[in-house]
Amino acid sequence: MLERAIFGVTFAAAIGSGLVAGIFFAFSTFVMAALGRLPPEQGVAAMQAINVTVINPLFMLAFLGTAALCLALAAAAFFAGDVASGRLILAGGVTYLVGCIGVTMVCNVPLNDALAAVPAATPEAAALWSRYLGNWTLWNHARTAASVLAAILFTAALI
């Protein structure tokens, strides 16, 4: 029964990690580039709006719900019947928690907070925006890679 539960939670974590990876992939491959093509005041205003709008139940369920599954799986990995699967599950959970949640909290959120603190139509915002685009996108690439890798590890554990 425990193995069946671990299988179900691992499957859900693989789907959640993949979903979050897709969201981050979109930002890394075209959303930030599109915002960077706008005049700075418009780019800043758009990103400020995105950063407020992203705090919604569906995104949070995918983002933090997957983190909760990863925490549960990290603990359950020690009880997995197959040692190799347990290691893959543990690696997937740690990868998501550190590479997605950790990077978000340590890198992307402080950048978002700094952007939120400036009025969009100011020289200060324009100067911040030029640095923000590169730094935020770099860390978003890391979150994308971590989420993809977590999905791969969870899927491998299921096989």
Please say if the pLDDT value at position 81 is more than 80: no
CA distance 137 to 13: 24
pLDDT over 70 (residue 80):
no
**pLDDT (tens digit, 9 = 90+) per residue, 126-145?**
999 999 999 999 999 999 99
Say if residues 17 and 151 touch (Cβ distance below 8 Å).
yes
Range of the domain at 126: 2-158
pTM equals 0.93
pLDDT tens per residue, range 83-112: 788 899 999 999 999 999 999 999 999 999
Domain count, the chain: 1
Q: What is the mean pLDDT of residues 110-130?
A: 96
Question: What's the CA gap between 68 and 73, in Å, rounded?
Answer: 9
CB atoms within 10 A of CB 154: 31
Separation of alpha carbons 32 and 134, rounded Å: 9
pLDDT in the model for residue 129: 97
Q: What is the per-residue pLDDT for 30?
A: 97
pLDDT tens sequence across 7-56 = 999 999 999 999 999 999 999 999 999 999 999 999 999 999 999 999 99
How does residue 4 score in pLDDT terms, banded at 50, 70 and 90? confident
Say yes or no to pLDDT of 3 above 90: no
Find the radius of gyration of the CA atoms of the chain. 18
CA dihedral 26, 28, 32, 132 (to 10 degrees): 140
